[in-house]
């Protein structure tokens, strides 16, 4: 499946209700290829709901979701899984690494259903681990890795197949500020290499150091730096480097 040119994510009038909870209300959001942005908002504002919908892990109650040009609603579950596998990498706050499994295998297992041989999977996994600076930790199991290293293993797994879109839900939420800064620097690096990166965070300092900020409150988008009319700022600003902000926060 190859996507059409155009935005990598396009949400139009997207709502999500859980019983009587309106977790997302009529959200419009366009993300172009090569963007790096934060979706920021307080706990319960609908950030993970939005990420799950963007990531095609969940379907909206109303509205249209286009990913890489495909209207998600028109795809069968099988086509949707294929689109997700080829297009989207996920990183979560809790790293979701299987206990007792060496980093190399944790990452290589991401390609289990890709039709590649075990040797090829491990070769690609090693390359991905080197890319995140963990060439010296290939055989370490999760309990032998620091939190920041675990998150870097999770990122290596997420970017293994070179997905054009990386969705990270509170990727630094479980980390101390220094490890968090390393992870953010890595996300910046992936962005520079061409990946579209969406960082979900409740931390306004982290959001402020990314080129675009989408603020969500009570399930609605209240501010988007890419839309001049909502705030007067544009998506042009480069902000403070992540490391500086996080180090400042620990002083």
Find the binder of ligand ATP among 15, 49, 56, 106 (CB under 6 A). 49
Q: Say whether residue 48 binds ligand ATP (CB under 6 A).
A: yes
CB of 35 or CB of 169, closer to ligand ATP: 169
**H/E element holding 24?**
strand 21-31
Find the binder of ligand ATP among 6, 13, 18, 194 (CB under 6 A). 18
What is the four-CA torsion angle of 92, 98, 101, 105, rounded to 10 degrees? Answer: -50
Residue 240 sits at the vertex; the CA angle it makes with 234 and 91, to the nearest 5 degrees, is 85
Distance separating alpha carbons of residues 149 and 97, to the nearest angstrom: 11
Strand partners, 199: 38, 168
Q: Say whether residue 48 binds Mg ion (CB under 5 A).
A: yes
Q: Say whether residue 202 binds ligand ATP (CB under 6 A).
A: yes
Is the Cβ–Cβ distance between 240 and 211 less than 8 Å? Answer: no
Distance separating alpha carbons of residues 130 and 123, to the nearest angstrom: 11
Q: Say whether residue 46 binds ligand ATP (CB under 6 A).
A: yes
Residue 233 partner contact from Mg ion, ligand ATP, none using kind-dependent CB cut-offs of 5 to 8 Å: none
**H/E element holding 65?**
strand 62-67
Residue 33 partner contact from ligand ATP, Mg ion, none using kind-dependent CB cut-offs of 5 to 8 Å: none
What is the four-CA torsion angle of 99, 77, 62, 15, rounded to 10 degrees? Answer: 10
Q: Say whether residue 151 binds Mg ion (CB under 5 A).
A: no
Q: Tell me the closest approach of the beta carbon of residue 16 to ligand ATP, in angstroms.
A: 8
Q: What do you get for the CA distance between the two ends of the chain, in Å?
A: 49
CB of 70 or CB of 92, closer to ligand ATP: 92
Find the binder of ligand ATP among 15, 25, 31, 45 (CB under 6 A). 45
Residue 23 partner contact from Mg ion, ligand ATP, none using kind-dependent CB cut-offs of 5 to 8 Å: ligand ATP
Is the Cβ–Cβ distance between 153 and 107 less than 8 Å? Answer: yes
Q: Tell me the closest approach of the beta carbon of residue 121 to ligand ATP, in angstroms.
A: 32
Q: Which residues bind Mg ion (CB under 5 A)?
A: 48
Residue ranges binding ligand ATP (CB under 6 A): 18, 21, 23, 41, 43-49, 202
């Amino acid at each position: 499946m190859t996507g059409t040119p155009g935005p990598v994510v396009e949400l139009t009038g997207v709502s999500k209700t859980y019983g009587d909870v309106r977790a997302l209300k009529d959200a419009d959001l366009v993300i172009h290829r090569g963007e790096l942005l934060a979706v920021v908002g307080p706990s319960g504002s609908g950030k993970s709901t939005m990420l799950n919908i963007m990531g095609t892990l969940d379907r909206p109650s109303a509205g249209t979701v286009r990913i890489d040009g495909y209207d998600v609603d028109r795809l069968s579950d099988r086509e949707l899984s294929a689109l997700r596998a080829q297009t989207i990498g996920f990183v979560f706050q809790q790293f979701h690494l299987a206990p007792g499994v060496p980093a190399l295998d944790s990452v290589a297992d991401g390609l289990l259903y890709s039709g590649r041989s075990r040797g090829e999977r491990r070769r690609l996994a090693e390359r991905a681990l080197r890319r995140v600076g963990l060439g010296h930790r290939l055989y370490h199991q999760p309990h032998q890795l620091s939190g920041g290293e675990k998150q870097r293993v999770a990122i290596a797994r997420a970017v293994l197949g070179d997905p054009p879109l990386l969705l990270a839900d509170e990727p630094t939420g479980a980390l101390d500020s220094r490890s968090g800064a390393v992870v953010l620097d890595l996300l910046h690096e992936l962005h520079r290499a061409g990946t579209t990166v969406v960082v979900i965070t409740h931390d306004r300092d982290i959001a402020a150091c990314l080129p675009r900020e989408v603020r969500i409150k009570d399930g609605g988008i209240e501010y988007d730096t890419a839309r001049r009319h909502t705030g007067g700022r544009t998506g042009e600003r480069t902000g403070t480097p992540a490391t500086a902000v996080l180090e400042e926060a620990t002083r």
